[in-house]
Structure 1
Amino acid sequence: MDVDKIIKKYELDKEIIKIRRHIHQNPELSEMENKTAEYICRKLDEWGIEYIEGVAVTGVVAIIRGNQPGNTVAVRGDMDALPIYEETNLDFASINKGIMHACGHDSHVSILLITARIISLLKDELKGNVKFFFQPAEETIGGAERMIKEGCMENPKVDYVLGLHVEPAYDTGTVGIRYGKMYAASDMIDLNIKGKSAHGAHPNEGIDTIVVAANIINTVQTVISRNVSPLNSAVCTFGMIKGGTVRNQIADYTRLEGIIRTLDQETRLTVREQIRAICESIGKVMGAQIEFNVTESYSPLINNDEVARVVENNAKLLIGEKNVVLEEYPDLSCEDFSYFAMNKPACYFHLGCYSPQNGPRVDLHHPQFTIDEKCMILGVRLQVKNVISLLNKGV
């Protein structure tokens, strides 16, 4: 079972670049990944791999069934692009104006396709089954949750899930792994404050919703600084405030919009309710009416230690211990792979993708973001190794 020989024999290191460049040049936004899904299905047909299309509308679930009993392992790759004008000047830059694969999902799909290709060539040696989740709408509505609701984890029932994300903070040839809490839960706050208008020279005759909002903004931060352990992490940010129409009038209405980020479900619920209580209490004391609404978004992404250890050990075997970064801190960004990780033991890890040949190091979601394409074949080799390890785990 020599994966490197398979890669060389079928020139999969060249194939993965062709696939990535095609997808990069033809990006599609969340819930509109129709042509991307069609392209994926054409490749799966070419290789004789079984699949179901139309999962969560534009998603694709492929499956390779081994000839021997064993676990079922799922591997996920997200497909959607971002509403960003590309500024890379690549020969294969986006032809869809204002849409760009600025988060590396083009490489995730490419890695997943070539991983499926290699696993299909190893089919006769497999114990168990391997599923491949080509997932839509990671950037917006949480396509992972929708795919789960539509049964992607069933028939056969998935035992373990793997996922990765290219990471420009790391050089190509390195891998970042974190045990336990990795990404935050995300909740969106909408706060409507209703007061009473008056002339700005007679504030005593009104209820000033801008002053109410200022008190709320300042006091809410004490939830983070005084109610969340210094050894834990949480964030509450109000990124938008709208109130008032003219400079000399007391504003009778102000709206605040913000986010809460937390790293576990218990902290999430506690912080959310404490912020609600503060907003409503300040409104009551100051005579304003408060409408507090929370829209729950992605759940916290928490890696399973056993699966993370499998990934760590395999990465060390492939690239050496010095090139495996054990990440010390979680990130308060969010990622809908969390729904898979809540459902079954899972590991989500970072694949270094930066080379100085790419130019300046820029972050994800930047209009000049690109990857060192050499990183992708390492992602394939590691995912194949992870799949094989988990297929045999505990069997």
Structure 2
Amino acid sequence: MKKVNGVKLICSHIEDSFGQAVLLRRAIHRNPELSGQEFETAALIHKYLSGIGLKPVYHLKKTAVMAAIRNGRGRHIVLRADTDALPILEKTGLPYSSLRDGVMHACGHDMHTAILLGAASVLNKTRELWKGTITLLFQPSEEVEPGGAWSLLKAGVFPDDVSAIFGLHVSTDHKSGEVGLREGTDYAGICTFDVTVKGAGAHGATPEKSVDPIVCTAALITSLQTLISRETSPFTPATLNIGTVHAGTRRNIIPDHAEFQGTLRSHSKETLKYLSGRIGEMIRQTASSFRAEAEVTFQESYPPSFNDPDMTACFSSAFSSLYGSSSVVHRPDPTMLAEDFAYYQQKVPGLYVHLGVRPSGRKFNGFGIHSAKFIPDEAAIKTGIASHITFATKMLGR
């Protein structure tokens, strides 16, 4: 019965914090900042946390903020939110649309940040329900490799005694009020690469005097797809995509070089390692057959994520009992999206959930994350706050 009363207390505080969280989300949405430039966002977070009595600390040149809520002896957990925006021109028409031309919170990180601020307020007011330490981690630069998580871990500011970490990401796969869960492998690992093909330029009327990098690049892009269809098991999902191709300045000039960029994704670290090696081999050998040269550069990217089975089951049971069985959706398949939260999960056990933001009471416009017209349902902020609190109180409950 004591736990039920605690639940009622928490629900009451969530309702009280919801309005403020919405205002915070809109303030952040109006003033989005690109990866590595989250200074104003970090300042807003720092000011809010200071205002509720915490002692936040800046990191990574004042783009990251961390604050601990300490409540006696016990376990130490981390609750994380990412804060950066995307280079997208917003087209939602919302009254609180981005004030920065060409920059938009199109991936929901404004929601993530406001949700964790709301959860911080509730947890700070309900210390009688838990014991231990909760570190609030507001992380920059999730959208660019190697990622803010990698940078924070490299800087040595991630606490050593942490036993669990929790985070969430908005998703239009699920309705507002729902949380999507998957035990074990969830997000894919990613490897990004840049290729420069060097040939010899000439006039379009004398192709025999050239080493055409465009024709070579076309062959390379086509050949690379055979790595997925012929060198990867159909039982090990993997994708290889080329996202940019650049070459030439005029239609009648064969250029002397071409460039393209791609991404490789898989849930298997071994597959990523094998395919990255083969990408380099195939590009260099194929380029040579065209009398061209090719340089391949791989970037440090995100590993596959893994949700701790015990934490997943514990969260699922607790959240379902509090908010109904329909509030938890068990996802049968992993996603090929990538997330730098996986770096934390390599250090400590963790859980990363999919927060439903598809409007349930009105028509959905059909635009998901990374769209200029992405509009998440703000009602999901309550569910997000409840998710953080459910995890924290289950891990640290008295």
Same fold by TM-score greater than 0.5: yes
* Offset at residue 2 of structure 1 (A): 2.0
* Counterpart in the other structure of 1:82: 86
On the 8 A contact 2:190/2:266 being kept in 1, the answer is: yes
* Counterpart in the other structure of 2:133: 129
Establish whether residue 109 from structure 1 lines up as the match of residue 96 from structure 2: no
Cα distance change, pair 111–249 in 1 and its aligned pair in 2 (3 A): closer
* Counterpart in the other structure of 1:267: 271
Which moves more between the two structures, 351-360 or 4-13? 4-13
Q: 1:341 aligns with which of 336, 345, 348?
A: 345
Q: 1:223 aligns with which of 227, 239, 246?
A: 227
Cα distance change, pair 317–152 in 1 and its aligned pair in 2 (3 A): farther
Cα distance change, pair 103–252 in 1 and its aligned pair in 2 (3 A): closer
Rounded Cα–Cα distance in structure 2 between residues aligned with 1:166 and 1:292: 34
Rounded Cα–Cα distance in structure 2 between residues aligned with 1:116 and 1:371: 22
Q: 1:325 aligns with which of 320, 323, 329?
A: 329
Letter of the 1:377 counterpart: K
Establish whether residue 57 from structure 1 lines up as the match of residue 62 from structure 2: yes
Letter of the 2:338 counterpart: C
Q: 2:21 aligns with which of 13, 16, 22?
A: 16
Cα deviations by residue, 1:259-301 (Å, 9 ceiling, x for unpaired): 2222222111100001111112222333322212212222222
Q: 2:179 aligns with which of 169, 175, 178?
A: 175
TM-score normalised to structure 2 length: 0.89
On the 8 A contact 2:106/2:369 being kept in 1, the answer is: yes
* Counterpart in the other structure of 2:305: 301
Letter of the 2:377 counterpart: D
On the 8 A contact 1:181/1:264 being kept in 2, the answer is: no
On the 8 A contact 1:61/1:152 being kept in 2, the answer is: no
Cα distance change, pair 93–214 in 1 and its aligned pair in 2 (3 A): closer
Rounded Cα–Cα distance in structure 2 between residues aligned with 1:381 and 1:325: 16
* Counterpart in the other structure of 1:378: 383
Cα distance change, pair 5–127 in 1 and its aligned pair in 2 (3 A): closer
On the 8 A contact 1:169/1:352 being kept in 2, the answer is: yes
On the 8 A contact 2:10/2:126 being kept in 1, the answer is: no
On the 8 A contact 2:184/2:306 being kept in 1, the answer is: yes
* Counterpart in the other structure of 2:103: 99
| Mapping of residues 37-76 of structure 1, within 5 Å | 37-55=42-60, 57-67=62-72, 69-76=73-80
Cα distance change, pair 86–167 in 1 and its aligned pair in 2 (3 A): same
Rounded Cα–Cα distance in structure 1 between residues aligned with 2:23 and 2:245: 46
Rounded Cα–Cα distance in structure 2 between residues aligned with 1:57 and 1:244: 41
Rounded Cα–Cα distance in structure 1 between residues aligned with 2:200 and 2:44: 58
Rounded Cα–Cα distance in structure 1 between residues aligned with 2:395 and 2:343: 19
On the 8 A contact 2:265/2:336 being kept in 1, the answer is: yes
SS of the aligned residue for 1:70 comes to coil
Cα distance change, pair 124–213 in 1 and its aligned pair in 2 (3 A): same
SS of the aligned residue for 1:339 comes to helix
Rounded Cα–Cα distance in structure 2 between residues aligned with 1:315 and 1:73: 18
On the 8 A contact 2:236/2:268 being kept in 1, the answer is: no
Unaligned runs of 5+ in 1: none
Cα distance change, pair 285–144 in 1 and its aligned pair in 2 (3 A): same
On the 8 A contact 2:129/2:393 being kept in 1, the answer is: no
* Offset at residue 386 of structure 1 (A): 0.9
Unaligned runs of 5+ in 2: none
Cα deviations by residue, 1:309-346 (Å, 9 ceiling, x for unpaired): 22222232233333322212222222111111122111
Q: CA-atom RMSD, angstroms?
A: 2.5
SS of the aligned residue for 2:50 comes to helix
